Amino acid sequence: MNRTELYPAIEPTHHGMLPLDARHTLYWEQSGNANGIPVLFLHGGPGAGSTPNHRRFFDPAYYRIVIYDQRGAGRSTPLGEIQDNTTPHLIQDIETLRQHLGIEQWLIFGGSWGSTLALAYGEAHPSRCLGFVLRGIFLCRNSEIDWFLYGLHHFFPEAWHDFVAPLSASERNDILSAYYRRLMDPDPAVHMPAARAWGRYEGSCSTLLPSPETVEYFTGDTIALGLARMEAHYFMHGIFLPENALLDNIHTLHDHPAIIVQGRYDAVCPIVSADDLHRAWPRAEYTVIEDAGHSAWEPGIRAALVQATEKFKVVLGAAR
């Protein structure tokens, strides 16, 4: 339970493409112990997709590790597709995947947008959740979206000025709409520069100290297009949930164990949201990493997330 290092790299034991409807197909994979406690990894964004390193937060001898790419993201197809892509669709996709894999209940692990989707899914299907590991809390309130688009200027002015440089003076009064128009343009000569600019902005603001590797990852074509299109789409539509819905319904999860991990200097998803969630969910264990920003790969956050999955081995073992 004192482990803080990521587990060694492993390969999936099973993977596949699961048809969701006439348009969308979902990439999924399993690794670890086929007879172990199921854990579902929910990636961020929306639209960022998953990576092989995400398997490494979990003990493969104990957990049945399920990772997938949400519709419109990563290896799911079609990439960047906004049609039939809403939070209720994503919640149903998790249920479709759970049923496809024959899983009754699972531990839910998600950071940033993954924490948003974890809460939305848990509140819709609390009986299917064994508990939650949540990082970099994003409740998708209007204030949080405005902060991402405008407030980050106070801490990352250089990145913000680069972000808005392609926009006219009038467009900067509504950054989201201006980027939305560009990102949804069918011409790659229009939408790809916008996607890379969006990804560069988010990547530049995601770590406490500058990380060229993070920026490079966020500006790769697949990540940038999925991330920028999906974020703009969900932000334009208020994530397809009523304002403050996640906190208003958190009482449905009060009996569930949870561990919240938050970087003190998370600029992308400021700590106030994690604090609000913890105050609304007294049972949730709350850990603030004093020398970290937003990224799951910040050393202190990475260590705390591994410790959380180790702790759940004891919690879930006792429950069973």
Task: Give just the sign of the alpha carbon dihedral 85, 90, 92, 94.
Answer: positive
What sign does the CA torsion over 235, 287, 55, 266 have?
A: positive
Contacts for 242-245: CB closer than 8 Å, 24+ residues apart: 243/141, 243/142, 244/139, 244/141, 245/120
- Non-local (6+) Cβ contacts of 237 within 8 A are 86
**24 Cβ partners below 8 Å, 6+ apart?**
71, 72, 76, 77, 78, 81, 84, 85
Residue 10 CB neighbours (<10 A): 14
End-to-end distance of the chain based on CA atoms, in angstroms? Answer: 18
User: For residues 225 and 79, is the Cβ–Cβ distance under 8 A?
Assistant: yes
3-state secondary structure 257-304: CEEEEEECCCCCCCHHHHHHHHHHCCCCEEEEECCCCCCCCCHHHHHH
Q: Closest Cα partner for 273 from 118, 141, 87, 121?
A: 141
Distance CA 15, CA 30 (A): 6
* Residues belonging to the active site: 112, 266, 294
Amino acid at 184: M
Of the candidates 51, 53, 29, which has an alpha carbon nearest to the alpha carbon of residue 39?
A: 29
